[in-house]
């Protein structure tokens, strides 16, 4: 597909400033993505400027901000924690033994047993919690508290959370 002649033509067209789609159309039988891949493999990322005049983009009208502008010097944010906001540490449960000397395995799990994995699945000691699971959950109460963390309230002082529109 990529003969020496076609590679030479690709290089020439790319240096002239044609887009990958235009090069693909002129070469025929290749897609735009194939042209882009070949350009990168050949190391042709640098290219000549096009003859087209740059298009002026109209400035988008800015909407008035409903929030007052913040001052340039940020104030330190004090973390306010109340006793109700502090989560109690979940209790640590020892794995339940199904039969003497046997731990809960994938073969012994039922709808009513906790399916919290314990250990590395690649090792011989891997097993599951096996305690009685809460209704409509795959885990016991202690492991459900670990698996399903409550959503933390956003800080009101800073407005938006970091990474969202800033």
pLDDT digits over 30-72, tens only? 999 998 889 888 888 665 555 556 566 666 666 655 555 555 5
- Residues 46/48/52/56 CA torsion (nearest 10 deg): 40
Domain containing 11 equals 4-42
Phi-psi region of 27 (alpha: psi -120 to 50; beta: other; left: phi over 0): alpha
* 127 bridge partner residues: 118
Provide the domain count of the chain: 2
Is 124 among the domain residues? Answer: yes
Exposure letters 91-119 (e unless 16+ CB within 10 A, then b): eebebbebeeeebbeeeebeeebbbbebe
Is 50 among the domain residues? Answer: no
Contact between 80 and 118 under an 8 Å Cβ cutoff? The reply is no
Pick from 42, 57, 72: which residue ends a domain? Answer: 42
| CA–CA separation, 52 and 97 (whole Å) | 75
Looking at residue 30, its pLDDT comes to: 92
Is 20 among the domain residues? Answer: yes
**% of the chain with per-residue pLDDT over 90:** 10
Looking at residue 129, its pLDDT comes to: 85
Question: Cα-flanking dihedrals φ and ψ of residue 59, to 5°?
Answer: -70, 130
pLDDT at 118 over 70: yes
- Give the pLDDT mean for 84-111: 67
Is 106 among the domain residues? Answer: yes
Instruction: Identify the residue with better confidence: 139 or 54.
Output: 139
* 113 bridge partner residues: 132
pTM: 0.35
Looking at residue 159, its pLDDT comes to: 52
């Amino acid at each position: 597909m990529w003969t020496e002649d076609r590679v030479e033509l690709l290089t020439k067209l790319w240096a002239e400033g044609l887009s990958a789609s235009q090069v693909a159309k002129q070469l025929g039988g290749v897609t735009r993505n194939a042209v882009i891949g070949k350009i990168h493999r050949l190391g042709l990322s640098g290219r000549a400027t096009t003859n087209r005049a740059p298009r002026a983009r109209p400035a988008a009208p800015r909407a008035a901000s409903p929030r007052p502008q913040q001052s340039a010097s940020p104030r330190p944010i004090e973390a306010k924690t109340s006793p109700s906001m502090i989560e109690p540490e979940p209790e640590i449960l020892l794995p339940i033994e199904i039969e003497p000397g046997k731990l809960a395995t994938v073969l012994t799990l039922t709808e009513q047993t906790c399916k919290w994995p314990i250990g590395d699945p690649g090792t011989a000691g891997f097993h599951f919690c096996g305690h009685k699971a809460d209704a409509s959950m795959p885990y016991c109460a202690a492991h459900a508290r670990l698996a399903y963390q409550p959503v933390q309230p956003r800080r009101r002082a800073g407005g938006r959370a970091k990474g969202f529109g800033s």
